[in-house]
Amino acid sequence: MSETRILVTGGAGFIGSHLVRRLLDEGHEVLVVDNFYSGSRANLADVLHDPRLEIVRHDVTFPLYVEVDEIYHLACPASPVFYQRDPVQTTKTSVVGSINMLGLAKRTKAKILLSSTSEVYGDPQVHPQDESYWGHVNPIGIRSCYDEGKRCAETLFFDYRRQHDLPIKVARIFNTYGPMMRPDDGRVVSNFIVSALRGEPLTIYGDGTQTRSFCFVDDLVDGLIRLMRTPHEVTGPINLGNPHEFTMTELAEKVIAMVDTGVGVEYHPLPSDDPTQRQPDITQARGVLGWEPKVQLAEGLTTTVDYFRRQLAAQSVG
Ligand code: NAD
Ligand code: UDP
Ligand code: UDP
């Protein structure tokens, strides 16, 4: 395959850094654009020396003029803790940031992929969720900056397609976890593992009966790359996630058994609009992309626990 110039917005974040590594491994030139709001250069420490990698500090809410062939548009904080800290900036990032990246794609004739989210389904009343479901989203709640921002980003992608025939791809990503999440990220997998490693009780929000389906990051990145390489007529939206569904109580039990530091759980109030259940229907991803997750929770958690163990050890030495 000839060398492709690929822009990854949000490439210093959790998913972005794994994607960048995969694209470099395949021999591509990669431009990372990130404002380091929730990501960091440290996530790319092992590839910083690679001459095919360029990292630019830039906020996608401002225009960007570069020459590229493909754009993976991932820039946007994904953890509720981070996206709720500056909610107006979160909406701007999804809406204005997408307009800028679509304008860039239009000028350069680049293919452009949006990392949308299962949050477009809100607190779903259809289970499992397939792509035809329009969702159940509160437009004025504390999660709305993220949910409605991504819904508007999807609208923009499809309007640029209808108006300008842009080669768009929209992935709806379900809860993804793995190495390179921040210890203070605030999402459930990292919170539970970090608490257990520190010998502190795991914080369960609500009664722990709410469900999520967790996808290991390597599988997810494989799905994103497959989607980018589909023909022009394939736009998505397409669900990417692992259909195995767990309650937060079950997740806590698994982490406690795996880390084995004798910790228990502690109950905290459930944040408002927290979805009660979530499971992807991945029929389309199986059929269109020939994709399904390979790494199950026990294996992915083991890898992630090892990562955080090393991170926390390095922090305590430093
Ligand atoms: P993350 O917070 O680790 O990464 C997001 C990256 O975007 C960070 O490096 C951050 O600094 C950067 N960023 C944020 N605002 C920016 C801006 N205005 N300009 C430039 N850079 C900016 O999150 P993640 O989990 O890696 O998520 C990556 C993408 O995948 C996001 O778009 C997110 O919505 C989507 N997604 C993730 C999940 C998941 O479970 N991880 C689920 C659904 C969707
Ligand atoms: N844009 C950008 N880089 C480019 C081209 C456009 O950041 O290479 C931004 C530009 O600031 C514009 C937005 O993308 O506001 C949308 O561009 P488009 O061409 O769709 O619309 P217009 O320029 O007509 O507003
Ligand atoms: N959660 C929890 N304890 C934590 C962090 C999160 O019980 O320390 C719950 C949270 O309320 C939600 C689920 O775990 O029901 C997943 O939360 P996360 O923030 O990881 O992702 P999202 O809610 O965006 O799917």
- Whether 122 and 137 have beta carbons less than 8 Å apart is answered as yes
Task: Round to the nearest angstrom and report the end-to-end CA distance of the chain.
Answer: 43
Name the active-site residue from 121, 146, 160, 177: 146
Q: Whose CA is nearest to atom 10 of ligand 3?
A: 205
* 3-state SS, one letter per residue, for 42-73: HHHHHHCCCCCEEEEECCCCCCCCCCCCEEEE
Q: Looking at the whole model, is its pTM more than 0.95?
A: yes
Sequence ranges of the domains in the chain? 5-180+215-242+279-294
> So what's the pLDDT on residue 200?
97
Q: What is the pLDDT of residue 26?
A: 97
Residue 221 CA to residue 170 CA, distance in Å, equals 14
- At 201 the pLDDT is 98
Q: What b-and-e string marks burial along 25-63, b requiring 16 or more CB atoms within 10 Å of the CB?
A: eeebbbbbbbbebbbeeebbeebeeeeebebeebbbbee
**For the structural domain made of 5-180+215-242+279-294, what CATH number should be given?**
3.40.50.720
Please give the backbone phi and psi of residue 206, each rounded to the nearest 5 degrees, phi first: 80, -155
DSSP SS3 for 221: helix
Question: What residue ranges of the chain have pLDDT lower than 50?
Answer: 1
Sheet hosting strand 168-173, strand order edge to edge: 53-57, 29-34, 5-9, 70-73, 111-117, 168-173, 238-240
Report which residue type is found at 92.
K
Structure-token pair, residue 84: 């709720």
pLDDT in tens, 7-53: 999 999 999 999 999 999 999 999 999 999 999 999 999 999 999 99
Task: Indicate which residue's Cα is closest to atom 7 of ligand 2.
Answer: 63
How far is 97 from 76, CA to CA, in rounded Å? 9
Q: Render pLDDT for 203-232 as a digit per residue (tens, 0 to 9).
A: 999 999 999 999 999 999 999 999 999 999
Pocket test for ligand 1, best of 36, 37, 79, 86 (most atoms within 8 A of CB): 37
Active site residue 146: yes
DSSP, res 120: G
In the prediction, which pLDDT does 2 show? 57
Ligand 2 and 99: CB distance under 6 A:
yes
